[in-house]
Structure 1
Amino acid sequence: MPIHRLSRLSDLDAGQWDALLPDAQPFLRHAFLSSLEDSRSVGARTGWRPAHHLLHGDDGRLLAAVPAYVKAHSYGEYVFDWGWAEACERAGIRYYPKLLVGIPFSPVGGARLLGEEGALAELLGVLGEGVEEGIWSGIHVNFTDSRADALIAAQDGWLERLGCQYHWFNRGYRDFQDFLDALASRKRKQLRKEREQVAGQGMDFRWMEGAELSEADWDFVYACYASTYEVRGQAPYLTRTFFSLLAERMPEAIRVVFARRNGRPVAMAFSLVDGETLYGRYWGCLADFDRLHFETCFYQGLEYAMAAGLRRFDAGAQGEHKLIRGFEPVITRSWHRLGHPGLRVAVSDFLAQERVGIRAYAEEARAALPYRQVP
């Protein structure tokens, strides 16, 4: 069956792509991925060259697809392989370009292999041939769901990597006080004190959906987002145009909470939502306020999730400070197929040890949760 490599997602009808998606998660939607490309947030200039692989049936129907990018670096992936790349450089082994199957700048688990299982097995085989032929040094499939895990594990040559994130789960809480009542006394007092400190600085908060935001609002959102990179001396991954395109193409999935002082916005947190999960993505503040980050990024999100009846709050990668605020350790997976035999053996040995450490850490982290009864 014919396999096509697509360098621009907008060249494919959105309905065909979205028909392959197994759920309503926003990050795989044509609107999200095409907004990244059309805003030039990803592209050859940024080291993210789109190379989506599509498999069509003899009748022309799209049977399977993977969102893929030829990478010239490892920025914006959140599954860190810099050590592998540096080892290759020292040994004179080419590590870039590599092929990444995933969502740029979005460490969110979900579907990565879209479509019919038989067609996907064929598509994975073709991708593997690209490694054997030296087109790219390896394939990396990041933040997979259980279906992709099973499909990839059934094929030879893939290495499994584990990671750990922190997600909050709604266990039927009526409101924030109901959630606090589930915590141990000392932790409950800490969270309440943090919220009181923010309120004492004269802050109030307003949630808005994508269709409600003006271009002036988006200017403020982007200024806050960009500031989080500027303080580290880095350029932001996303362009200002991305936010306008996303607001035009999928406004129903966008949620932004503005922190205001004396009626004027001073900070924001940008999130996406589907039918069961709130995904906290970007935050920024244009001045320093004590504890405002925790309130804007976590406590406001928890309140929103409870009010909306959402099952889960994924507030982003990393951050052990989430544990004491009720976010539970969750194991994530990625898969790697490497072409160089020596590299493959070395990485395989490393990952075997790392998996043991990750599982042990997740168990230890669960013991640090603030609940009176650990879930």
Structure 2
Amino acid sequence: MLKAVTSALLIPPDAWDRLANPAGQEFNPLVSHDFFRCLEESGCAVAKTGWAPRHLVMEDEAGQITGIAPCYRKRHSQGEYVFDHGWADAYERAGGRYYPKMQVSVPFTPATGPRLMAVTEAERRELASGLIALCTEEKASSVHITFLPEQDWQALGGKLWLQRTDIQFHWANPGYGSFDDFLASLSSQKRKNIRKERASLAKNGITFHALTGNDIAERHWDAFYEFYMDTGARKWGTPYLNREFFSLIGGCMAEHILLIIAERAGKMIAGALNFIGSHALYGRNWGAVEYHDNLHFETCYYQALDFAIARKLARVEAGAQGGHKLARGYLPQKTYSLHYLAHPGLQRAVADYLAAERQGVEAEQQALAAHTPFRQEQDF
């Protein structure tokens, strides 16, 4: 049986986490029940902000939950990082109604992870079929499953589900013992540039603190929220996350959080929020109230690498966008999304567009990879 519920709080946390992060597999804190609960309890991902929860739940005959798809009924395309504004404009110019649409994702979080949370491929296919039925029931134009694993993208892509790709930049750790080991793997010029960037901040008296667990206090969240609001307002107008959200995740997810704080003359001036998985560090948000050359690179990238090396994490995922990450050891990786559009004409038009776009993404990835910062004899 499939049903849609209007809040993650209506789904037992143990059932959610059992499917989102199965025992013995890679743990991703960004798909945990706690993360979704904090988004909803804080009022960030709720109907008022255009993210009305319609989480699809699948149960067996005994009433046990066997599948979950975190889904939202949306009246805009903000906070998704897979852009369909052009589709919406074209459809509405032709007389259609693109919103509401159904969005299967982690709100405001461009990080790959399970979206059709079930054990078997057959159960994931059943969830995907249920999402199409939910789209009809909600009188929505479409369903979008974003940042899902490549395996599910390959298995479900086809006539009903259109396939889309994009590029992010991830850093891979082959087993470095120190940051200097990482630097030694780079070309001479790139190595010199990074050392110069790091030294410039030390000369300005800027220090960095990597905080996790109980080391993170409300005063740190106060400062970070100020950084986040300043940078977010300048980049996209209205930031998506409110102050309460940070207190909530600090209260229930502190052991999975890395908060980098930069200080100068005893004042906190910048910060970066990361989430710690079993295999990966996920960079999420950053901000600053003072502006110094290379402050962004150190706070968001080099501090993350230092932490990942110390924790022996396999990779750092630095979030959306950013070709500047390439020179700092972050290499291009594809991301994947699936799209169902109820109107046959719109479906055909978007299918043609995506076929060309996928070719462009493939060419871009190859071109970027040709400019790797690593020494030529390195094999990454």
> One fold, TM greater than 0.5?
yes
Cα deviations across residues 304-335 of structure 1 (Å, max 9, x unaligned)?
A: 11111111011111100000111000011100
Structure 2 counterparts to residues 270-349 of structure 1, below 5 A: 270-349=273-352
Cα deviations across residues 95-116 of structure 1 (Å, max 9, x unaligned)?
A: 1111011110000011111113
Residue correspondences, number:
373
1:73 corresponds in structure 2 to: 76
1:14 corresponds in structure 2 to: 13
Cα deviations across residues 6-49 of structure 1 (Å, max 9, x unaligned)?
A: 11111222111111123410111000001000000111111111
Q: Residue 167 of structure 1 contacts residue 312 of structure 1 at CA under 8 Å; is this kept in 2? A: yes
2:162 counterpart letter in structure 1: L
2:123 corresponds in structure 1 to: 119
The offset of 1:264, in angstroms, is 2.2
Cα deviations across residues 58-90 of structure 1 (Å, max 9, x unaligned)?
A: 111001110001110100000011100110121
The offset of 1:3, in angstroms, is 1.5
Q: Is 2:228 the partner of 1:225?
A: yes
1:253 counterpart letter in structure 2: H
For residues 358 and 282 of structure 1, what CA distance do their matches in structure 2 show? 25
- Secondary structure of 2:19's match? coil
Q: Is 2:140 the partner of 1:136?
A: yes
Moved more, 18-27 or 74-83: 18-27
- Secondary structure of 1:281's match? strand
Moved more, 312-321 or 214-223: 214-223
1:149 corresponds in structure 2 to: 153
What TM-score, normalized by structure 2, do the two folds share?
Answer: 0.95
The offset of 1:121, in angstroms, is 2.1
What TM-score, normalized by structure 1, do the two folds share?
Answer: 0.96
Cα deviations across residues 160-202 of structure 1 (Å, max 9, x unaligned)?
A: 0010000000122111111111111111111111111111110
Q: What is the RMSD of the two structures over their aligned residues, measured on CA atoms?
A: 1.4
User: Structure 1, unaligned stretches of length 5 or more?
Assistant: none
Q: Residue 24 of structure 1 contacts residue 274 of structure 1 at CA under 8 Å; is this kept in 2? A: yes
| Aligned structure 1 segments of 4 or more residues deviating by more than 6 angstroms | none
For residues 233 and 130 of structure 1, what CA distance do their matches in structure 2 show? 31
- Secondary structure of 1:19's match? helix
For residues 3 and 260 of structure 2, what CA distance do their matches in structure 1 show? 41
The offset of 1:220, in angstroms, is 0.8
1:42 corresponds in structure 2 to: 45
In structure 2, do the counterparts of structure 1 residues 134 and 24 end up closer, same or farther at CA, with 3 Å as the change threshold?
A: closer
For residues 257 and 134 of structure 1, what CA distance do their matches in structure 2 show? 42
Structure 2 counterparts to residues 168-317 of structure 1, below 5 A: 168-232=171-235, 234-317=237-320
For residues 304 and 103 of structure 1, what CA distance do their matches in structure 2 show? 24
For residues 124 and 335 of structure 2, what CA distance do their matches in structure 1 show? 21
User: Structure 2, unaligned stretches of length 5 or more?
Assistant: none
Q: Residue 187 of structure 2 contacts residue 373 of structure 2 at CA under 8 Å; is this kept in 1? A: yes
The offset of 1:359, in angstroms, is 0.4
2:14 counterpart letter in structure 1: G
1:364 corresponds in structure 2 to: 367
For residues 123 and 235 of structure 2, what CA distance do their matches in structure 1 show? 44
For residues 45 and 362 of structure 2, what CA distance do their matches in structure 1 show? 33
Identity %, equivalent residues: 42
Q: Residue 276 of structure 2 contacts residue 282 of structure 2 at CA under 8 Å; is this kept in 1? A: yes
Q: Residue 111 of structure 1 contacts residue 147 of structure 1 at CA under 8 Å; is this kept in 2? A: no
Q: Residue 70 of structure 1 contacts residue 100 of structure 1 at CA under 8 Å; is this kept in 2? A: yes
In structure 2, do the counterparts of structure 1 residues 101 and 370 end up closer, same or farther at CA, with 3 Å as the change threshold?
A: same
Moved more, 284-293 or 207-216: 207-216
Q: Residue 116 of structure 2 contacts residue 127 of structure 2 at CA under 8 Å; is this kept in 1? A: no
2:15 counterpart letter in structure 1: Q
For residues 235 and 160 of structure 2, what CA distance do their matches in structure 1 show? 38
Q: Residue 150 of structure 2 contacts residue 336 of structure 2 at CA under 8 Å; is this kept in 1? A: no
Q: Residue 27 of structure 2 contacts residue 279 of structure 2 at CA under 8 Å; is this kept in 1? A: no
2:46 counterpart letter in structure 1: G
In structure 2, do the counterparts of structure 1 residues 151 and 6 end up closer, same or farther at CA, with 3 Å as the change threshold?
A: farther
Q: Residue 112 of structure 1 contacts residue 148 of structure 1 at CA under 8 Å; is this kept in 2? A: no
Q: Residue 29 of structure 2 contacts residue 277 of structure 2 at CA under 8 Å; is this kept in 1? A: yes
For residues 12 and 133 of structure 1, what CA distance do their matches in structure 2 show? 21
Q: Residue 131 of structure 1 contacts residue 338 of structure 1 at CA under 8 Å; is this kept in 2? A: no
2:194 counterpart letter in structure 1: L
Cα deviations across residues 240-260 of structure 1 (Å, max 9, x unaligned)?
A: 111111111211101101111
The offset of 1:262, in angstroms, is 2.2
1:87 corresponds in structure 2 to: 90
